[in-house]
Amino acid sequence: MYDQKFAGIVQVDVHGMTKHKAKVYIDSKLRQAKGDVYRIRVVHGYRGGTELREMIRKEYQKHPKVKRVAWGLNPGVTELILRELY
């Protein structure tokens, strides 16, 4: 588990966590996110199963701080978009 911050992006790693522990951890990062943070990149992996990925993509679509949930070419990462840059 580690956190990294790149110009407006907070990256969190939830590999190996239970769904409950990952949700508590991500919720804490959402609460701590200040105005300069526009995206939280959640690294959940996928080779060990898709349980975390599915939970994150389902739960955070309804979260009041998250405008949208995005994923790209890497199936082990989900982006929580807090605000648009454009």
**The CATH number of the domain where 42 resides is what?**
3.30.1370.110
The answer to pTM > 0.85 is yes
Q: Is residue 51 part of a domain?
A: yes
**pLDDT at residue number 29:** 95
Q: Backbone phi, then psi, for 27, in 5-degree steps?
A: -60, -40
Q: Is residue 86 part of a domain?
A: no
Q: Is residue 50 part of a domain?
A: yes
DSSP sequence for 40-59: EEEE--STT-SHHHHHHHHH
State how far the alpha carbon of 29 is from the alpha carbons of 48, 49, 66, in Å: 24, 23, 12
Residues 37-47 have pLDDT tens digits of 999 999 999 88
